[in-house]
Chain A
Amino acid sequence: MADDGFEFPVDRTQVMLFARSLLDIRPEYSEPDDPATKALGGIVVPPTFVQCSAHWQPNYGLDLTRPLKSGGTVASQRQASGGGGGGLGRGLHAEQRYEYHHPVHVGDTLTVTSKPGKQWEKEGRRGGTLKFSESVTEYRNQDGVLCVTATSVGVQTERAVDQ
């Protein structure tokens, strides 16, 4: 069962910042008047851009300093509920996949919904017993068109992974 979802507005500065963090300054990611951008119908986004939806995800666990409307931060709320600091431990990102169904443009507002996927275990050479779990996230635009399906596989390891 998918969650209720949240809205993720795709704005020009966010796309520029994200592309720049990938050392990518091609005009289609920042310059609306460039002929290459116009040929695509406006500014488009890098293949992994939808990760930026984290900024809009309520109670996102990997930003412990984010201030909350209910007071405090994600970290202080977790501590208050006995959940510890969070965001640490042995959780690592094992795999990531995207399917691109429809272009994402600056100006779109994407609705983001996630649901859990498969879970499995295996014995690893580097980190003891490995517990894998999948999360499937769909990004739909303001017209209801499915743009991107993202599948993330996380792994919990028993000990720190050797280099």
Chain B
Amino acid sequence: MALKVGDTNEMVVIENVSRTHIVKYAGASGDFNPLHHDDPVAQNMAGYPSVFAHGMLSMGLTGRMLTDWLGPDGLKSFGVRFTKQVWPGDTLTARGEVTDVKDGVATIKVVTTNQNGDSVVEGEATAKA
């Protein structure tokens, strides 16, 4: 892959998140926490303005930015913190930047932001350089 410090990749990984996107992820992953698909539960029982996307949907979408860049067999590790919730209507842009290359392993800083520029996922991946 010949990654070097400063290499970047950026892509819009989802536009206008819908409840359909969210339930599709719920069905595929098996995570049927009602906070992610049942508005009355999210609002009345948990106090949220509406349902919100699984953190793992944001991470999975962020992973696509990495595999589109590095290939589906390039990653050695991938870790994130969920910094902000993702709501229906949001559009997410994932960005990766190589910050270090050592012994054939590249360290990649990963940030995914919403349409307001707020990060929703922040983390780090390592890949075969």
Contact = CB atoms under 8 A, between A and B. Distances in A.
Interface of A: 14, 17-18, 20-24, 26, 28-29, 40, 44, 46-48, 51-52, 54-55, 57, 60, 62-65, 87-90, 92-100, 103, 151, 159-161, 163
A88 B56 contact: no
B47 A47 contact: no
B33 A95 contact: no
B98 interface: no
A95 B79 contact: yes
Contacts of B56: 48, 51, 93, 96
Contacts of A99: 76-77
Interface residues of B, number: 46
A20 B45 CA distance: 31
A22 B35 contact: no
What's the dominant secondary structure at chain B's contact region? mixed
A88 B38 CA distance: 11
B72 to A, nearest CB: 5
Nearest to A126: B84
Interface string B31-47: 11111000001000111
A97 B67 contact: no
Contacts of A51: 29-31, 56, 60
A94 B82 contact: yes
A64 B48 contact: no
Contacts of A98: 77-79
Nearest to B30: A54
B14 A96 contact: no
A64 B64 CA distance: 29
B45 A88 contact: yes
A36 B96 CA distance: 24
B77 A100 contact: yes
A46 B65 CA distance: 11
B94 to A, nearest CB: 11
A161 B48 CA distance: 8
A151 to B, nearest CB: 8
B33 to A, nearest CB: 5
Interface stretch (B2-10, B20-28, B101-109): B20-28
B32 A62 contact: yes
A161 B85 contact: yes
